Structure 1
Amino acid sequence: EPVTVEWTKIGSNTLPPHVKQVGNQLVIDSVQPSDAGQYRCTGTTTQDIATDESSLTVEAGTPPRPVVTPPYQSVRENERAVFECIVPGVTGCEIQWHKDQVGGPLPPGVRRYGNKLIIANAKKEHAGNYICSVRTNFGLGESNPGRLDVQREPWRPEADPPVLNVAVGDSARFRCFVRGVPHAEFSWRREDGQPLDNSVDQAGGFLTIQGAQQHHAGRYICSATDPQDPTQGPIDAAPVTLNIKEAAKPLVPQVDPLQQTVDLGQPARFRCWVEGNPQAQIRWVGSGNRPLPSGARDNRGELVFHSVTRNDAGEYICKVYDPQTSRYIDAPPARLDVNQPSHPPEVDPPEQTVLENTPANIRCWVPGNPNARVTWKRRGGSALPHDAHDDGRGNLRIDRAQTIHEGDYECTAVDPRTNQPQVSQPARINVKLAANEIQPEQGSPPRPVASPPVITVPHGETT
């Protein structure tokens, strides 16, 4: 028969919160003096009940007394400081470190290593008392304080640059700082006692002058204070000097000529210079900052072509280096145009014979000049007959040739660069009348006819 077991503490209606019944066992975590007393186990069945009692005696103890060594040390700023926590008679315990009081957080730059507290670079904010603590079953043990004093070396603010030269309208900036005192506060003033105007800004140790003018020239002094050391008054840095010079004249590169047209194979030359500045650093590049073609030479500001080719045509940029801005200034682009030998338009086929009511086509083009404008006319310049179509791209098309279409046709090509027209050799169309009815010979198959009988096209073209 199953037995139900229940634990109780004599003299109390309930078990303390940290006392638990696990199965038939009574478990007490972290025994305290108040846990001492008698505990009763009651076993119950459906027909019977039985009890038994057990006594718990708790021996009183005292928390450990850790010791911090050394109890006092003094180091110079940025030196190393080490404290050690020793717990007599206790091993394997976990040590906690605190600043000024138990629970006080450790400042940045403090590292724990085993039972030691290490400060690699002591600062003024590290000065104070350090306490270690250990918690055991008998409570929290707190050590004596280990005191740390940090001796600061004498400091003085620095300002740089000591001398600054800027042009009128440029910005000027000085920086003030104190080595080892990152939290120092700064203020700037003129040495002559004149107030700073609205164009002067000071923040974070920087003195910034926007759009410097001649009246900003002079000597400036930075004064620094340590807000964490009220006993130390303001300390001045050595004065810095601002010199204002007149702004340099802007570099204006000039090019001559801005455009020239030469024949294929002839020389060409462009000149670039800066008025009043013979030592200016000048270089030539192609449009879009492309390198110069192989036949071009950059000769101390002159762009020279000994024998121009078709590939040399285009725009070229003269660049002048500005030492004030460390950038290049572009001149207006110089353009080189190259006259190329003109080719008369060609036609294909030069002659064709077609049957009446069949199509006829003639093609016209200019070798090496795909941009040429091409038109068709009757020989002598008269208009095209009815149903003859010029598509504007060099193709003359007659869908159903008639006798009125018979004759010579001329193609006129105009180069868009020169607007000079050239006329092709005539292309002839012959129209053969078709028989009203074709009667094949008895027993013979019909004979098909291809038109035109001959046609010639350039490689890669279609008809």
Structure 2
Amino acid sequence: MLHFVSPQGDQARPLLQNPPTQCAKLCISNLVVSGFLILSKPTIPRPPVPFPIENLDSLHLTCNTSSILADVAWLLNRRPLGNSSRIQLSDNNRTLDISPVLRSDAGDYQCRVFNPAFSETSDAFYIPVIYGPGPVVISPDTRLYLADTSLNLSCWADSDPPATYTWYFNNDSLPIGNRSLFVIPVLSMNNTGTYHCNASNADTGHSSDGSVQIIVLEPVSDISITSTPSTIVEDALVTLNCTAAKGTEVSYFWSKGDQVLESDDRVYLSDDNRNITFNTTVREDSGNYTCYANNSFSNSSSTYILNVYYGPSDVFISPNTTYYKTGSSLNLSCTAVSNPPANYTWRFNDETHDGSNWEIDILTVSHSGKYICEAFNEETGLNQSHFLEIKVLEPVSDISITSTPSKVVEDALVTLNCTAAKGTEVSYFWFKGDQVLESDDRVYLSDDNRNITFNTTVREDSGNYTCYANNSLSNSSSTYYLDVYYRPDIPVILPKTPYYAAGTTLRLSCTAASNPLANYTWHFGNGSVSSGSTLTFNLILNDTGFYNCTASNDETDKSSTQSQKVTVVGEYPASCMTPCCASDFWRKSLWPAAPVRGCVLLCWQTAQLSQKRRMSCRIFGHQ
């Protein structure tokens, strides 16, 4: 049975049920069945340009078939050939022209002939398209490499046939032959540069270039910091320089302690941050300065101790004590603000001593004076000194007071002198009793207060005078009793009664103000009666007269006398015994204690008058 197969590949359907009997001649090569020719396999002959060049050549293919009436279709890579303005087919599709050829046109070309009953396809004819090379691609595109690592570059360009590769380093050809891979096992700094890859196609006569910039970075290491000048003093211009002995594309930044350092009005960082410049250093600039250096894949740092030398200043001596007792010890310490620490030299009179301390075990007055400490800084070349006045004082003791003259009499010029037998730099002041003594118009204190001068003494100047003597470390005092001797004053004789009765007892007392106490002597008439301040005896009529009391002072050699007239009278006249005079009151009250008053006096006078003139006795209105 014969079948018909459509060009579109439909399922075959029977054409003849009994071909041997129905049409024996159709079994030959040009068998025609129901008017359709049985097809033979077409062929594609070698084209005129079997290796066309892209964009330069054209492709001309012919499909050879013995079937004149068959239809022809073209396949590329077993797929129907697409439509394009570059593709031209002949009227019967037996020739194919592609102009210009592109690389996408390369592949297996086939032609198929078919009629409604039969279909045949030629063998594939591979048509290559010569092209390239396209843009060169170098991989990897990494630019930065670490020294001592390897470099592996691959060069590729789209090309048919495959391109021939040539490598260049900084425009110098590398003798590695036709290799797309370039390898440097161990990179060094010398390998930094531009690597070119040239891809060429001998068939197209074209070439393409690509390049990559390779930077071989050395790890940052061996950081060093230097100072200019190396010796740094306060108020100087100083620069710190940071250098990485190894490393490429290094960046720098600084910190002081844990603070990032930035420029200000006194500290300047260079544009690349490698240098710090201090326009004027101050002591506070001292400290740890760390320079950090890094690049893309490594970092390192170094720390520099900036030591700003300054001083000395503020020299101080301690303890700041001026006064010391004799026999005590002295231990002075000298300090100064200085970097480095200052060297110290002491001077006292003609003595010198090195070191910060000056010690004296046992002080004497001769150690008093000015102690000078000089501080010197060997780095700055500066010095400064300070002194402390030391006064070694003997404690005040053995205070004595003397009077000139030693015997003080009223109205005399007298000086009290206070002296401390022991003690230095003694100050004095005086008290009389509990009152501070000060100069006035009669009493004068010397400038040093040691002496009190009384221009004219008065008896009230007597009293306790205390001299206080002290210095900065001790004090003492002494009390002197000033005893001002004065004359006796005019004595006072008591009682002052002028009349006494014979037979009574006379009792007279004599007192006079005197220092020391006066000695008393009584005189009657031209003779001495007795001594002592009182005079006592029984009166007779002949005792009438003047009784003198003389008070004398052995210290002043002066005396004073007072007289008292005493009149002694006889018995009372009887006529006087009036009720008034005879009364117990009058006798007891007025006689003999007060005979000068009252009844007795009047009575006596009246009695005498009545004897002479025979007048009556009148006593206070009584007869």
TM-score (norm 2): 0.28
Q: Taking CA–CA contacts closer than 8 Å with sequence separation of 6 or more, which of the two structures ends up with the larger relative contact order? A: 1
Is the helix fraction higher in 1 or 2? 2
TM-score (norm 1): 0.37
